[in-house]
Structure 1
Amino acid sequence: MRLILVDDHKIMRDGLRTLIERQKDVEIVAEAEDGITAVQLARELSPDFIIMDISLPNLNGVDATRKITSENPNIKVIALTMYSDKWSLKKMLRAGASGYLAKDCNYDELIQALHTVKANNYYLSSGIARTVINEYIHLIKSSDYTGSVLTARERQVLQLIAEGKTTVETASMLNLSKKTVEAHRSQIMNKLGLYNLPELVKYAVREGLTSI
């Protein structure tokens, strides 16, 4: 099993690497500290698994997962996060994640999750109630889910704005022109009916785009 670790804390990645490399059938092929790098590495390396944090700079784990699984459905994403609420769970499952673990899980549960997902099953942390599991498995398969009012690109621009990036910095990171970023920002404001930065930041936090 070829695996990529995605977490913005190096100490967390180092700890995971030490634990996971005990398994002879698992090879860690790369690490990433933000969502954009994770998407790029997934394209280049086509791993079997990605262990993904949710709270990531530049591109959050939910949107990174959505990009990765839409481009390559064979890649299995397992969330490993401090968030144990049902809303974070719902967002990751809808984005295409196959597993969801809280960071307080033990080593055996992490390995069990890898093998469960490898067998094309979902694995959700034992701390989540069975009724919640059933509810959200149903939700991600529901045909009436309409998705976000913003496009994937607009969500990414909004995250960078909320994280304090300037228009020039955002344009450089996304390989866009300054005018294109400004157009996205205007479109975001019009769609949401929010016309100042504090309101945009609050919306981004509420929607899980950033953890500021």
Structure 2
Amino acid sequence: MPETPKIRVLVADDHPGFRRGLTALLASEPGVEVVGEAVDGREVVEKALTLSPDVVLMDLQMPGINGIEATRLILRKEPRVGVLVLTMFEDDESVVSAMKAGARGYVLKSARPTEVLNTLGSVARGEARFGPEIARRLTGFLADPGPDPASAFPELTGREREILDLIAAGRDNASIAARLFVSPNTVRNHISRIFAKLGFSNRAQAIVRAREAGLGRDG
């Protein structure tokens, strides 16, 4: 009977003590092989692309590229790799950002070793799995109807919010001007004030923030 191949794991964490302890835990498991370690975001991306692990155990807060961006970069080129986030952060933003980046699992560093190993096995098999605390947060987040666009960005005037809504819907300045029966120059002036009030540096940032607030759905 052929031997079951070991789960090849790459460990990414910038804290030496935690990284060594995690590596020792994984090395004690007969079905797991630690193929490498990384101490920052750039290194984990490079090693993930050269070592071809089955699973990357990913910390979120690392020097250089953070774990979310590193996950996104890895999966863009190696979508078969399973990313399991192992972090101390359990806030909704971190969890949802990790999911959007493509992580298959999310476990807190305070979890028991058995939970980490079980989740690792699930992620290696292509399943999505989250620790119980994270699962409860996701349930609450998904049950939340989301932001009310009408209450978004109270510092904007009604016309400015209307223009930001159209920007979030993907309309360009000429289209917005035609829609509102104003000149393109008037639209540009409104956009300049919107960006100044909200601290946006470019149109892409404005679109992302506005869509997160619920704008751009009906434009």
TM-score by length of 2: 0.61
Match of 1:40 in 2: 46
Unmatched runs of 5 consecutive residues or more in structure 1: 137-148, 150-188, 195-212
Aligned to 2:16: 10
Please tell me whether residue 191 in structure 1 is matched to residue 202 in structure 2: yes
Contact 1:33 1:56 in 2 (8 A): yes
Query: Which of 46, 51, 76 matches 2:82?
Result: 76
Residue pair 1:17, 1:28 contacting (<8 A) in 2 also: yes
1:21 matched to 2:27: yes
Unaligned 5+ runs, structure 2: 1-6, 143-167, 169-199, 206-219
Please state if 1:100 is matched with 2:106.
yes
| SS of structure 2 residue aligned to 1:37 | helix
Provide the residue aligned with 1:49 in structure 2.
55
Alignment partner of 1:127 out of 129, 133, 142: 133
Q: Which aligned pairs between 1:114-153 and structure 2 lie closer than 5 A?
A: 114-130=120-136, 132-133=138-139
Deviation at 1:114, TM superposition (A): 1.1
Q: How does 1:163-182 map to 2 (within 5 A)?
A: none
Computed over aligned residues only, the root mean square deviation of the Cα atoms, in angstroms, reads 2.4
Length-normalised TM-score, structure 1:
0.63
State how many pairs are aligned: 144
Q: Which amino acid aligns with 1:102?
A: L
Letter aligned with residue 31 of structure 2 = D
Which of the pair has the greater relative contact order for Cα pairs under 8 Å at 6+ separation? Answer: 1
Q: Assess, with a 3 A threshold, how the Cα gap between structure 1 residues 134 and 73 changes in structure 2: closer, same or farther.
A: farther
1:62-85 deviation digits (Å, cap 9, x = unpaired) = 000000011101100000001011
Equivalent residue number for residue 168 of structure 1: none
AA aligned to 1:54 is L
Match of 2:37, as an amino acid? Answer: E
Query: Counterparts of 2:82 and 2:111 in 1: how far apart (Å)?
Result: 19
SS in 2 for 1:128: helix
The higher radius of gyration belongs to: 2
Distance 1:115 1:11, change over 3 A: same
User: Contact 2:92 / 2:141 at 8 angstroms: preserved in 1?
Assistant: no
Q: Report if aligned partners of 2:92, 2:137 keep a CA contact under 8 Å in 1.
A: no
**Cα distance change, pair 97–133 in 1 and its aligned pair in 2 (3 A):** farther
Displacement of 1:190 after TM fit?
3.6
Contact 1:32 1:38 in 2 (8 A): yes
User: How big is the shift at 1:21?
Assistant: 1.0
Contact 1:124 1:133 in 2 (8 A): no
In structure 2, relative to structure 1, the CA distance for the partners of 1:51 and 1:193 (3 Å cut) is closer
Task: Report which stretch shifted further, 30-39 or 111-120.
Answer: 111-120
Distance 2:108 2:117 in 1: 13
In percent, how many aligned pairs have the same letter? 34
The list of structure 1 runs, each at least 4 consecutive aligned residues, that deviate by more than 2 angstroms after superposition, is 128-131, 133-136
Quote the Cα distance in structure 2 between the aligned partners of 1:73 and 1:133.
26
